[in-house]
Amino acid sequence: MATLTAITSCAATECAFNNDGCTAGAITVGGTGSEASCTTMLTLDARGGLPVADGRVGACQRIECVFNKDLMCTSATIALDGDTANCTSYRAA
């Protein structure tokens, strides 16, 4: 089985899974157009996820990304930037 890509940082502080970093067990990267973003992001008045920020990329829907192999992210790490948690590693082939 492939190793899941680590999320080194997340700037989407409104996300329920952001507690000094991504605490979701695994996220899905999706989006449209030139932006790839975290589709796991939830804006709720609650916090959830793992007890520590150790989020991983479980799936990537952006099949045109150079790091996508079999719907898995092959980048060593990713960061999520901005209020909409855009994937900074996304590169269209």
Query: Per-domain residue ranges for the chain?
Result: 1-93
CB neighbours (10 Å) of residue 83? 12
Residue ranges with strand state E in 1-93: 5-10, 27-30, 37-38, 56-60, 68-69, 72-73, 77-81, 86-87
Alpha carbon 3 to its chain's center: 15
Question: Does pLDDT of 70 surpass 80?
Answer: yes
Percent of the chain with pLDDT strictly greater than 90: 97
Confidence of residue 20 (pLDDT cuts 50, 70, 90): very high
CB neighbours (10 Å) of residue 12? 21
pLDDT the model gives residue 50 = 96
Percent of the chain with pLDDT strictly greater than 70: 98
The neighbouring-strand residues paired with 37 are: 30, 86
* Cα distance between residue 93 and residue 43, in whole Å: 31
